[in-house]
Amino acid sequence: MSIRWPRVLTPTYLSQIIQNQKNPLKALRIFNEARNRYPDYRHNGPVYATMINILSTSNRIADMKQVIDQMKEDSCECQDSVFSTSIITYAKAGMLNEAISLFKNLNQFNCVNWTESFNTILKIMVKESKLESAHHLFLENFGKWEVKSRTRSLTWLIDVLCEKKRSDLALQVFQEMNSQYCYPTRDTYRVLMKGLCEDGRINEAIHLLYSMFWKISRRGSGEDVLVYKILLDTLCAYGHVDEASDILNKVLRKGLKAPKKKRTQLDFNMCRNGRDIESAKSLVNNALIKGVIPSYESYNAMAVQLYAEGDINGAERVVQEMHDQGFKPQVVIYEAKVTALCKQSMINEAEKVITEDMVEGNCVPTIKLYNILIKGLCCDGKSTRALGFLNKMCSQSGCVPNKETYTVLVDGLCDDGSFIEASQLFEKMLVNSYWPDTDTFSRVINGLCLMSRPYEAVVWLEEMVSQEKIPEHSAWTSLVGSVIYDTVGIDVLSEILYS
């Protein structure tokens, strides 16, 4: 299909044109042709970002690098997110040195904020166990004016170090924050507390809690409850019930500033000597729920965390306490609940959250919530029921299915052997300009061949070729096996192969 070029080309119009191209190479040709057709036209940052994102998504790294170099020569103002995306693409392709080199040369681009790229490259380097190199890069760039939100950057570094089970190094970074004129936030304490507890560094975790009393929780805030819960749960898990009880009292008095009537003495006798750890945790959770300063933020944090831990009953008690205090649960709590129910294969209950609970609570489901449920249904072998929720999404105002919705559904239908329905869903994807990846194309092609529908399979093969995608070997084998005795089919397949 030929492009209808306007009399005057604007960057916004060009972005729309290349975004609508299913073939990344055709989009690149249009991108390059624009300058030849319009001598006075110049690409801007958003156009470059669109083109780089298209090439990144289709894994055309050499072409992406060429466009990045062209953007540098043009010296147009560009966003940090462009480089963050490119760094991630290089890293996924095993080109870590290219990713590091791109970051180190950001001063050659017209970009005034490197924060996202800085955080991204640090996280990747730590995950790749390049700890010394990451620390060196951190020291080189942390003080530069292009790196904003220093506390956030340090929290990111602490987080990835904890993920690598190096909470000892994370603690050193935390202790250096004051010398860097940075002050830890509640999120910093949460990340580090979790890392220390997971590594069994209980004494350091307790000292961290006491420092939080003086720096973050001086006025008492229910939003701090997650940090307290992490330590108290860990103490219970290690059988340190007496210490947990003592610290809980300090938390209620100093951290949460709970009224005296809410600081009830808990009976941990049945939980001593490591017995009935879950009962001890339940007692702690109930005390925190009752002692917390009533606010949506505090209840929300507690409920979401309990759902994430799989403690659905505990989370439901928090939600009930919310209702009792006059707070209305928002969609983030429903998202956490559906996620927890799907993980425990409680699919019917998960469906009721959308069809009953949210209706009763006068809360509207989001795309994210629908996607969580659809994925849960597909994982449970109920892809046909999941299609019903796709229809609900389409009928709900302002809720448009995205690429994730279609991809999860197609994969689920293929898993359930519903290849014809998966093929029909493919058509909707293409209408909405969502281009399936090679694996998804190959699965549908293989399935249609198994269903003795080679002509439909060949149609999707032709679509793959038009998008510059190379089918997997299994797809070719299935197609050849399906049309081997069909001279017409062979002719069609040959035409695609040699076109």
Mean pLDDT for the chain overall: 85
Question: Mean of the pLDDT values across residues 206-220?
Answer: 78
Q: Is the pLDDT of residue 216 over 80?
A: no
**pLDDT score, position 266:** 59
pLDDT tens digits for range 156-181: 888 888 988 889 988 988 887 777 67
What's the confidence (pLDDT) of residue 370? 95
* 437: its two tokens: 């990846």
Cα–Cα distance measured from residue 161 to residue 98, given in angstroms and rounded to the nearest whole number: 23
Residue 342, helix vs strand vs coil:
helix
Range with the poorest average pLDDT among 317-331, 342-356, 408-422, 467-481: 467-481
Rounded mean pLDDT of 293-303? Answer: 82
Measured distance CA(202)–CA(179) in Å, rounded = 25
Local confidence band at 305 (pLDDT 50, 70, 90 cut-offs): confident
Q: For residue 74, what are its two tokens?
A: 């043009």
361 contact partners, CB below 8 Å, separation of at least 6: 328, 329
Confidence class of residue 265 from pLDDT cuts 50, 70 and 90?
low
Q: What's the pLDDT score for residue 136? A: 83
Take residue 340 and report the two structure tokens written for it.
């927890």
Residue scoring higher pLDDT (499 or 283) = 283
**Does residue 257 or residue 5 have the better pLDDT?**
5
DSSP summary character for residue 23? S
Tens of pLDDT along 404-460? 999 999 999 999 999 999 999 988 888 888 888 888 888 888 888 888 888 888 888
The answer, yes or no, to whether residue 134 has pLDDT greater than 80, is: yes
List the one residue out of 257, 243, 320 whose CA is nearest residue 286: 320
- Quick one: tokens of 92? 């996924």
Q: What is the pLDDT of residues 100-110, one digit of tens each?
A: 999 999 999 99
Q: What's residue 361's pLDDT? A: 84
Q: Do 393 and 370 form a contact (C-beta atoms < 8 A)? A: yes
In this model, does residue 481 exceed pLDDT 90?
Answer: no
| Secondary structure of residue 326 in the 3-state scheme | coil
Where do the domains of the chain lie?
A: 294-345, 435-499
pLDDT at position 488 is: 43
- Residue 470 amino acid letter: I
Supply 457's token pair.
Answer: 């399979």
Average pLDDT over residues 146-164: 82
Q: Note the pLDDT of residue 442.
A: 86
Cα–Cα–Cα angle for 172, 190, 250, rounded to 5 degrees: 100
151 burial (CB, 10 Å; 0-12 / 13-18 / 19+) is: middle
Distance CA 347, CA 372 (A): 11
For residue 461, pLDDT beyond 90: no
Confidence of residue 155 (pLDDT cuts 50, 70, 90): confident
Look at residue 487 in the predicted model and tell me its pLDDT. 47
Distance CA 15, CA 12 (A): 5
pLDDT for position 498? 45
The band of 2, judged by pLDDT with boundaries at 50, 70 and 90, is: low
pLDDT at position 198 is: 94
